[in-house]
Structure 1
Amino acid sequence: MISFQPQSTLSILDNDFYKFTMQQAVVRLFPSAMARYHFINRGKHSFPDGFGEALKARIQQMQFLQLSAGEKQFLRENCPYLDPLYLDFLAGYRYDPAEVTIKQHGADLDIQIEGHWYRSILWEVPVMALICELFYEMTSGQRIPDELLISQTAAKAKQFRVLGVNVAEFGTRRRHSYHVQKQVIDTFSHEGGNMFVGTSNVHLAMLHQTRPIGTHAHEWFMYHAAVYGFPQANVSALQHWVDVFRGDLGIALSDTYTTDVFLTHFDKMFSKLFDGVRQDSGNPIEFADKVIAHYNKLGIDPLSKTIIFSDGLDYEKVARITDYCNGKIGFSFGIGTNLSNDVGLIPMNIVVKMTETRQMNGQWTPVVKLSDSPEKNTGEAAMIEAAKTILKIKN
């Protein structure tokens, strides 16, 4: 039997910020909704014997996490759009490991998360982070030493600083380890100057007194498609976001059902109200052209809006996007794996995605994502084809 002890150094805020913002919206609007998530091994990684049991032990430790008074105060002072009722709810929230089912079949791993959406929504990111950290531990992967990690991260910070761009760290879910991610943010905090604008990891944002960054994820739109239908998914998801946050957290994710479809729904009201959009798949230059043309068509100055680029970024890609977008539209970057898992080992290519949702006393309904990069599509094949037909998507 694998023994474990509560780890007091862990934090319930060691998660991406958009999980908490979405949780507030779900608590307020959809408290009866149920959700299922599944682990997808995109990289076809082979898991060593005993991995499933070791992961279960790590998951068990999560039940001891709770919001501290200091963490609650940090959220109260830095995130005024998180209302007092939600902060009180979060203070009482505890992870329930019974919501996570883990099975290992040879080198394959099967993970399902199921529960009320307002509860199960917090599992995705820490489960992925635990998988990555445990995988490197159990396969004896030797990463670069801290001295080299710090020096190469400092060099990246200098490159971005010289380029004159805004960069946020988005690497929690596929980080090598908590230690590596913290070292990266330590270094960016000291070396990045005004270039470094924050991190998606709320716990590390608090430690470094920087901004927690994020709004919503694909699951927000996937749920709305299941409940309101594919033609109304984007509009209902955006409207409900506005209903909860009243203009705060104004970066909209555009590619749950392709950017082309999203922009047909992103009318003048939403285009004016939201501060910008996030690019998470497809060709970033083509995306920029589409978004700039969209704002121009509506009579909105693209320079008053922002694109957050967040898809597989490294310095070369950031430099190319910067050169193209300068003077045309506002832009910023969220960089994940290239910061939190650039340690001389092959980064894991894994995701955990919502696969089904259920309303109170209803049936489970499959949900899908139709990305600007078709290889990132998720969901049942029949439902994907139905969505493509209804939304007239050809790829």
Structure 2
Amino acid sequence: MDIATRVWNHKWKIDPIVRSLIDTDFYKLLMCQSVFRNRRDTTVTFSLINRSSHVPLAELIDEGELREQLDHIRSLSLSRGESTWLRGNTFYGKRQMFRPDFMEWFENLRLPPYHLEKRNGQYELTFEGSWPEVMLWEIPALAVLMELRSRAVLDRMDKFELQVLYARAMTKLWEKIERLRAVDGLRLADFGTRRRHSFLWQDWTVQAMMEGLGDKFVGTSNCRIAMRRDIEAIGTNAHELPMVYAALAEDDAALARAPYDVLADWHEEHDGNLRIILPDTYGTEGFLSRAPDWLAGWTGIRIDSGAPEAGAETAIRWWKERGEDPRDKLVIFSDGLDADRIIALQEQFAGRVKVSFGWGTLLTNDFRGLVKDDALAPFSLVCKAVSANGRPTVKLSDNPNKAMGPDAEIARYKRVFGVGEQKPLEVVV
């Protein structure tokens, strides 16, 4: 595919960024089914949060164009082929991962309304409604904003400039692939949907990884690309679940139980490689020290904030203390990865645990240094659940620079979960 020519043609016609409700991350659909089963009557508000305030999205992206893209997403529904793939495909060795009642609901879904306004050079974009409906806005909304920002920069470039740009970006990625394919035992998946440069670019990077890494590339989080390229859809769960469960807690005791209530519900639905713990929502150390014994039997842990080496060492120590052999466990690294970090972590932990990587933004959006003023460099944009049934949500993380929520609630959560001093780390993406 000639991506440069397609980008050039964006200037001449409307080109929808999101063309499918399954142009989203696999974990979103898994979580949505769990929410549909257990908490479907919860009212949740999601909000856009630009951690990179130096990127003035409302000055870069035309409001009319943004509304046009969001309105298009609201017109989408599952196609027959997409429904057949979700109903009949085997995911993680399990057929009929998605239950008939959930699929019937999903097949009739149209995403609910959004609220958009400008403030201080940024967009305030919110979604409010039934939790299983509004949660499916997160990934497409981020993908639209990231790609519209890319288009705003690319629209100033001529045709041959675009061809050179993409040639350089392809070379940059291929050099990373050449380094990674020399790494013994590597297992790597694409986690880059939410902050990708564009859908076309993510699709190209997945194909490049398939060719360049072979069996070392284990799949993609993006359901549409997994379906189109006939590869594994990868994903489990995210911080959203404990954040909302915690917000619904009636008192401090219920708040302390909330992260484990989430996993108890998950435990009933899934087994094998879907039983992956994400422990850092309210601090990894405290979460593991208070975890029930049955969690130690789960397949592995995903490390998504803080120093990844420290997180893996904490997990290894915890498994040993609970009588588990870490060599039988899976550690998935997924925070701010690039080739150098992937290689270093693989070398450090290979043989001590089973190691896997979810490579995100710096796989699907590494245009750093390729245009003037670094105008295509990736930045940190998220869309998070900020309230549940009118109560604010909180995330602490293992990196205080990723914390979110009202100050008073953050202080309360730190007290309940025993979170002490934390070392701030740069949020790369």
Q: Which residue number corresponds to residue 235 of structure 1?
A: 260
Maintained 8 Å contact 1:15/1:125: yes
Alignment of 1:41-60 (within 5 A): 41-44=50-53, 45-47=55-57, 48=59, 51-60=62-71
Shift of 1:389: 1.3
Alignment of 1:21-40 (within 5 A): 21-40=30-49
Shift of 1:8: 10
1:327 aligns with 2:325: no
Q: Which residue number corresponds to residue 426 of structure 2?
A: none
Q: Which residue number corresponds to residue 157 of structure 1?
A: 177
Maintained 8 Å contact 1:5/1:61: no
Shift of 1:21: 0.5
Shift of 1:34: 0.7
Q: Which residue number corresponds to residue 111 of structure 1?
A: 125
- After superposition, the C-alpha distances for 1:262-306 in whole angstroms (9 at most, x for unaligned) are 21233331111x210100000111111110011111111101110
Normalised by the length of structure 1, the TM-score is 0.92
Maintained 8 Å contact 1:150/1:183: no
**1:43/1:290 CA distance change after superposition, 3 Å:** same
Aligned residue type for 1:244: E
Q: Say which SS state the counterpart of residue 93 (structure 1) adopts.
A: coil
Give the Cα–Cα distance (whole angstroms) in 1 for the partners of residues 291 and 306 of structure 2: 19
Q: Which runs of 5+ in 1 are unaligned?
A: 359-363
Q: Say which SS state the counterpart of residue 182 (structure 2) adopts.
A: helix
Q: Which residue number corresponds to residue 268 of structure 1?
A: 293
Aligned residue type for 1:153: L
Maintained 8 Å contact 1:6/1:64: no
Maintained 8 Å contact 1:234/1:265: no
Give the Cα–Cα distance (whole angstroms) in 2 for the partners of residues 312 and 368 of structure 1: 22
Normalised by the length of structure 2, the TM-score is 0.85
Give the Cα–Cα distance (whole angstroms) in 1 for the partners of residues 176 and 214 of structure 2: 12
Further displaced range: 340-349 or 365-374: 340-349
1:78 aligns with 2:90: yes
Aligned residue type for 2:417: L
Matched residues, number: 384
Aligned residue type for 2:133: R
Shift of 1:136: 1.9
Maintained 8 Å contact 1:101/1:111: yes
Q: Which residue number corresponds to residue 101 of structure 1?
A: 115
Shift of 1:51: 2.7
Shift of 1:50: 5.9
Q: Which residue number corresponds to residue 386 of structure 2?
A: 355
Of the three residues 153, 167, 170, the one matched with 1:147 is 167
Further displaced range: 134-143 or 254-263: 134-143
- After superposition, the C-alpha distances for 1:294-334 in whole angstroms (9 at most, x for unaligned) are 11111111011101000000111111111110111111000
Shift of 1:57: 1.2
Shift of 1:49: 6.3
Q: Which residue number corresponds to residue 223 of structure 1?
A: 244
- CA-based RMSD: 1.9
Give the Cα–Cα distance (whole angstroms) in 1 for the partners of residues 201 and 195 of structure 2: 11
Q: Which residue number corresponds to residue 254 of structure 1?
A: 279
Aligned residue type for 1:354: A
Q: Which residue number corresponds to residue 142 of structure 2?
A: 128
Give the Cα–Cα distance (whole angstroms) in 1 for the partners of residues 51 and 23 of structure 2: 24
Same amino acid, percent of matched pairs: 31
Aligned residue type for 1:35: V
Of the three residues 403, 407, 418, the one matched with 1:381 is 407
Of the three residues 3, 23, 32, the one matched with 1:14 is 23
Q: Say which SS state the counterpart of residue 309 (structure 2) adopts.
A: helix
Give the Cα–Cα distance (whole angstroms) in 1 for the partners of residues 388 and 14 of structure 2: 34
Give the Cα–Cα distance (whole angstroms) in 2 for the partners of residues 245 and 375 of structure 1: 32
Give the Cα–Cα distance (whole angstroms) in 2 for the partners of residues 369 and 311 of structure 1: 16
1:179 aligns with 2:204: no
Aligned residue type for 1:202: C
- After superposition, the C-alpha distances for 1:10-65 in whole angstroms (9 at most, x for unaligned) are 11110011110011011111121110111111111113266333211110001222
Give the Cα–Cα distance (whole angstroms) in 2 for the partners of residues 265 and 52 of structure 1: 47
- After superposition, the C-alpha distances for 1:44-93 in whole angstroms (9 at most, x for unaligned) are 11132663332111100012222122212222212332222222222111
Aligned residue type for 2:333: F
Give the Cα–Cα distance (whole angstroms) in 2 for the partners of residues 166 and 307 of structure 1: 11
Q: Which residue number corresponds to residue 87 of structure 1?
A: 103
Q: Say which SS state the counterpart of residue 162 (structure 1) adopts.
A: coil
Q: Say which SS state the counterpart of residue 173 (structure 1) adopts.
A: coil
Give the Cα–Cα distance (whole angstroms) in 2 for the partners of residues 174 and 9 of structure 1: 13
Maintained 8 Å contact 1:17/1:212: yes
Shift of 1:245: 2.4
